[in-house]
Amino acid sequence: AAFTARQNRFDDVPNLQTPAPVASSTKTTKKAETVTSGLLKKCQPCNDGVKCVPQIQCPAHVRMESHDKPQICDLPAGKFGFCCQTGQNHTAPRQEEISSKERRSGIPTILPLSVLDEARRNFEHLMHGIAQIPVRRGFPDFAHGLVFHSTAKDDLHNFAISNSAIEQVMTTQLFGKKEQVPVEDFITNNVPVKFTETPLAQHCQPPPLCRNIRSVYRSLDGTCNNPLPQRSLWGAAGQPMERLLPPAYEDGIWTPRARSADGTPLLGPRKISRTLLSDVDRPHPIYNLLVMQFGQVVAHDISQTSSVRLEDGNLVQCCSPEGKVALSPQESHFACMPIHVEQDDDFYAAFGVRCLNFVRLSLVPSPDCQLGYGKQMSKVTHFLDASPVYGSSDEASRSLRAFRGGRLRMMNDFGRDLLPLTNDKNACPSEEAGKSCFHSGDGRTNQIISLITLQILLAREHNRVADALSQLNPSASDEWLFQEARRIVIAEMQHITYNEFLPIIIGPQQMKRFRLVPLHQGYAHDYNVNVNPSITNEFSGAAYRMGHSSVDGKFHIRQEHGRIDEVVNIPDVMFNPSRMRKREFYDDMLRTLYSQPMQQVDSSISQGLSRFLFRGDNPFGLDLAAINIQRGRDQGLRSYNDYLELMGAPKLQAFEQFSSEIGQKLSRVYRTPDDIDLWVGGLLEKAVEGGVVGMTFAEIIADQFARFKQGDRYYYEYDNGVNPGAFNPQQLQQIRKATLARLICDNSDRLTLQAVPLAAFIRADHPDNQMIGCDDPSLPAVNLAAWRT
Ligand code: HEM
Ligand SMILES: [Ca+2]
């Protein structure tokens, strides 16, 4: 049956130390191709009589079971169902089915007024009745809060939306408690009770109508991508993230996983971070830091969550001053989930720190007005559409445009185009350093100077393309030039991502199995109106955070001819972009990125991130590794083992299956293999063949990029049967020549950078790579003559 086939997909996964499971056997690969739809799914619908149906339609005796749990699968619109074997005798219910029916009939299907009232009072109390302690400027937690910042107006809007969602969640929790609704019903979205006709229904409106569904250009906020009216918000900015598996919330609604599978309390993430994820210098033998840096640009393109805020819009503080202790429950904000630091901590003990601030992510109201678990939002367009360059709303994009020649506004810094300076006082944590902070389409641009470098590069590319288009079409309007240049830059980004970047991360096998390889010729035909392009919680909360392990704690800035000029510690260039004003720095940074190896993706995290994150002028900073683990729990990610199962791989039975050394460390921080956090387990796996991440992350990442391809009508390889803004065949052939190497050459200052590695992500010193002069005609270029109208 379908299941057996899937289970066999990774028959050789159990020993996680063995290399590249699927790669070795063509037989396995072939089998895999017949059962995958290109997305991660727990059961394949309509295959051998197995169907994904809502829980209520699937009596217990026909459920697909694995161990003792029913197999959960995806239904449309973010719901989960059960894998059900159809065509069998449904008339002989088992005992547990009867009791479940009886129980079900006892649950009211309308929301009692008393529940609404009581929840309202609880919510009011939590919002206003408790001490409102803000984070102070100048501390690492302040900078941390700023990575969730977009614009003041957006922050305010999201705040209102999130409050409404949190009130819904609190109402759901109260209802669940009063009516004793089983957790399973909540996590599979199967509680048929609605907020309709209650004051909480204000956000349950049908999606907005799209005025022009055949628009040649994708919208700035990502709306109206899916042509079906009820799906016009799929992938749009501010929409909820999806899930591969139902959330692991203790109450099925929003209470984070806090207990081990054996019932004892889980250990805190700082302890896990310092035990398992220490800092070891392991330069990657093949890839350079551009992989890391381009990876972060992609991360920011496709996801930005946001944290809950205080009533006045300030950031929430959960620890006492200087992190001496966590605030008492009476003083604590309801969104607090501070990270506990033990007294014997090998780093923080020296500063007397016992508490790291951590605030939960804000939520969006249930799209279908139904009681259910909390859903985290992403503030940027989920699609890969260069939103860090153009913003994720019409308003943001207007603030970036010059409205002349289709160009983006830039600051001319003695002949060099840099991003414009920002006047947003929340773009950087300290007002002093803030004076030289930059404005772009993404609120996180100033987070690290190497990120600013690529943000400048992409904005310059837009203007370079707009200028060339204007030369070719002298009478073209600003609007046409802007939109065409944007369409081209997005296509270049997509092509570089699928053609050069992604294969490095997930390896060639996953590229093929998930049908992610760009074509050499002709149009692709993978669009599927049923694929939801939204980011998944598993991707943003764990798998794609693999990038944090690729970060090197230092930049070795080299002079043009190799001598190291300056060693820069990364915490010194976080939210501190003043170096960018040094004439040669931009070129120097680009050369550093392509020359210096990235760090391997493994269990090592640089102390620049795990001790000194956003330290500013302070002696210590935050621990990003601990934050990632805590974030996974906040987002309701299930444990690592559940995702192994989702992929069809056997679960981990013993810690030592990794290695005896890792196993020993694991057993110091987890009680059973069923407790391992997804981000941690994924990092411990050996890389897949030809990729940098292990199989679990490779699959989750491949699934995500398959969603972006199959679920994006404007994907650059589609023809105008699907994509109203399709490229003509000549244009598409030109886009296929885009490379990161060319992008760097075309947009460098040519002060200290005259050449690039032909394969830009591969170390310049790698024997298979070669340096190529920026003026060498054999470096391919997109010929824009195909855009002469
Ligand atoms: C110097 C480099 C980097 C720094 C300082 C950094 C820092 C951060 C911080 C502070 C967060 C928010 C954590 C939280 O509260 O949950 C975050 C989120 C994230 N990071 Fe990084 N990061 C870096 C590089 C990267 C790279 C290279 C990648 C991927 C290739 C990446 C992927 C992500 C993702 C996917 C998220 C979640 C975004 C969201 O959905 O809100 N980061 N990072
Ligand atoms: Ca985007």
309: left (phi over 0), alpha (psi -120 to 50) or beta: beta
Length of the chain: 789
Q: Are 688 and 647 in contact (CB under 8 A)?
A: no
Query: Which range in 208-212, 326-330, 337-341 is most confidently predicted, on average pLDDT?
Result: 337-341
Ligand 1 atom index nearest CA of 304: 41
Confidence label for 33 from pLDDT (cuts 50, 70 and 90): very low
* pLDDT, mean over the chain: 88
Give the pLDDT of residue 201: 87
Give the pLDDT of residue 406: 98
Pocket of ligand 1 contains residue 448 by CB under 6 Å: yes
Chain segment 300-320, per-residue pLDDT in tens: 999 999 999 988 888 999 999
Q: Are 677 and 627 in contact (CB under 8 A)?
A: no
| Cα 304 to Cα 226: distance, rounded to the nearest angstrom | 21
| Cα 7 to Cα 289: distance, rounded to the nearest angstrom | 36
Pocket of ligand 1 contains residue 633 by CB under 6 Å: no
Measured between alpha carbons, how far is residue 113 from residues 116, 117, 124 in Å? Answer: 5, 6, 16
CA dihedral 379, 382, 384, 387 (to 10 degrees): -20
Residues in a beta bridge with 79: 75
Give the pLDDT of residue 254: 97
Confidence label for 105 from pLDDT (cuts 50, 70 and 90): low
Measured between alpha carbons, how far is residue 635 from residues 300, 392, 590 in Å? Answer: 18, 23, 35
| Cα 184 to Cα 190: distance, rounded to the nearest angstrom | 8
Confidence label for 78 from pLDDT (cuts 50, 70 and 90): low
Measured between alpha carbons, how far is residue 723 from residues 16, 518, 524, 552, 661 in Å? Answer: 42, 16, 11, 40, 52
Q: Is a pLDDT exceeding 80 seen at residue 5?
A: no
Measured between alpha carbons, how far is residue 293 from residues 45, 534, 677 in Å? Answer: 39, 23, 25
C-alpha 304 to ligand 1 mean position (Å): 9
| Cα 84 to Cα 52: distance, rounded to the nearest angstrom | 6
C-alpha 535 to ligand 2 mean position (Å): 10
| Cα 430 to Cα 618: distance, rounded to the nearest angstrom | 12
Tell me which H or E stretch contains 693.
Answer: none
Tell me which H or E stretch contains 570.
Answer: none
Q: Complex ipTM, two decimals?
A: 0.99
Q: Enumerate residues 6+ apart whose C-beta is below 8 A from 413.
A: 581
Token look-up 């805590």 returns 630
Tell me which H or E stretch contains 417.
Answer: strand 416-418
**CB atoms < 10 A from the CB of 19, how many?**
11
DSSP collapsed to 3 states, 23-87: HHCHHHHHHHHHHCCCCCCCCCCCECCEEEECHHHCCHHHECEECCEECEEEECCCEEEEEEECC
| Cα 128 to Cα 120: distance, rounded to the nearest angstrom | 12
Chain segment 337-364, per-residue pLDDT in tens: 999 999 999 999 999 999 999 999 999 9
Q: Are 690 and 508 in contact (CB under 8 A)?
A: yes
Please report which ligand is nearest the Cα atom of 593.
1
Give the pLDDT of residue 664: 97
| Cα 8 to Cα 558: distance, rounded to the nearest angstrom | 49
101: left (phi over 0), alpha (psi -120 to 50) or beta: alpha
C-alpha 635 to ligand 1 mean position (Å): 15
Confidence label for 455 from pLDDT (cuts 50, 70 and 90): very high
Pocket of ligand 1 contains residue 292 by CB under 6 Å: yes
> Closest by alpha carbon to 8, among 49, 48, 36, 37?
36
Burial of 351 (0-12, 13-18, 19+ CB in 10 A): middle
Q: Is a pLDDT exceeding 60 seen at residue 100?
A: no
Give the pLDDT of residue 28: 34
Q: Are 219 and 211 in contact (CB under 8 A)?
A: no
Q: Is a pLDDT exceeding 70 seen at residue 22?
A: no
Chain segment 617-629, per-residue pLDDT in tens: 999 999 999 999 9
Instruction: Give the SS3 label for residue 173.
Output: helix
> Closest by alpha carbon to 240, among 359, 365, 154?
365
| Cα 255 to Cα 313: distance, rounded to the nearest angstrom | 24
C-alpha 235 to ligand 2 mean position (Å): 9
Give the pLDDT of residue 193: 92
| Cα 95 to Cα 296: distance, rounded to the nearest angstrom | 52
Pocket of ligand 1 contains residue 547 by CB under 6 Å: yes
Q: Are 316 and 134 in contact (CB under 8 A)?
A: yes
Confidence label for 129 from pLDDT (cuts 50, 70 and 90): confident
Look at 539 and 137; give whichever has higher pLDDT: 539
| Cα 545 to Cα 322: distance, rounded to the nearest angstrom | 28
C-alpha 532 to ligand 1 mean position (Å): 23
| Cα 405 to Cα 473: distance, rounded to the nearest angstrom | 11
| Cα 439 to Cα 446: distance, rounded to the nearest angstrom | 8
Pocket of ligand 1 contains residue 635 by CB under 6 Å: no
CA dihedral 187, 188, 191, 195 (to 10 degrees): 70
| Cα 113 to Cα 116: distance, rounded to the nearest angstrom | 5
Q: Are 224 and 191 in contact (CB under 8 A)?
A: no
Give the pLDDT of residue 280: 96
Burial of 138 (0-12, 13-18, 19+ CB in 10 A): middle
**CB atoms < 10 A from the CB of 54, how many?**
16
Mean pLDDT over residues 503-512, rounded? 96
Token look-up 């501010």 returns 238
Measured between alpha carbons, how far is residue 655 from residues 665, 676, 679 in Å? Answer: 9, 10, 16
Q: Are 379 and 436 in contact (CB under 8 A)?
A: no
The separation between CA 95 and the C-alpha centre of its own chain, rounded to angstroms, equals 43
Instruction: Tell me the catalytic residues.
Output: 300
Give the pLDDT of residue 489: 98
Please state the pTM of the whole predicted model.
0.91
The separation between CA 169 and the C-alpha centre of its own chain, rounded to angstroms, equals 23
Chain segment 35-62, per-residue pLDDT in tens: 334 677 666 554 567 777 776 677 666 6
Q: Among positive and negative, which fits the CA dihedral 37, 41, 45, 49?
A: positive
Chain segment 674-732, per-residue pLDDT in tens: 999 999 999 999 999 999 999 999 999 999 999 999 999 999 999 999 999 999 999 99
Please report which ligand is nearest the Cα atom of 387.
2
Give the pLDDT of residue 66: 55
| Cα 62 to Cα 330: distance, rounded to the nearest angstrom | 48
Pocket of ligand 1 contains residue 295 by CB under 6 Å: yes
548 is in an annotated binding site: yes
Q: Hey, which of 545, 613, 615 would you mutate to test ligand 1's pocket, going by the most ligand atoms within 8 Å of its Cβ?
A: 545
| Cα 310 to Cα 163: distance, rounded to the nearest angstrom | 10
Q: Enumerate residues 6+ apart whose C-beta is below 8 A from 272.
A: 626, 629, 669, 670, 677, 680
CA end-to-end distance (rounded Å), the chain: 55
User: Phi and psi of 755, rounded to 5°?
Assistant: -145, 160
Q: Are 147 and 379 in contact (CB under 8 A)?
A: no
Ligand 1 atom index nearest CA of 293: 27
Give the pLDDT of residue 20: 31
CA dihedral 38, 44, 47, 51 (to 10 degrees): -150
DSSP state of 315: B
Residues in a beta bridge with 34: none
Q: What is the DSSP string of 226-254?
A: SSSGGGTTTT-TTPBPB-SS---BTTSSS
Chain segment 246-300, per-residue pLDDT in tens: 999 999 999 999 999 999 999 999 999 999 999 999 999 999 999 999 999 999 9
Pocket of ligand 1 contains residue 545 by CB under 6 Å: yes
Position 98, amino acid:
I
Give the pLDDT of residue 367: 81
**CB atoms < 10 A from the CB of 290, how many?**
28
Please report which ligand is nearest the Cα atom of 708.
2
Pair of tokens at residue 413: 């810094």
Q: Is a pLDDT exceeding 80 seen at residue 137?
A: yes
Q: Are 689 and 20 in contact (CB under 8 A)?
A: yes
Tell me which H or E stretch contains 156.
Answer: helix 152-179
Ligand 1 atom index nearest CA of 295: 30
Give the pLDDT of residue 272: 98
Q: Are 167 and 195 in contact (CB under 8 A)?
A: no
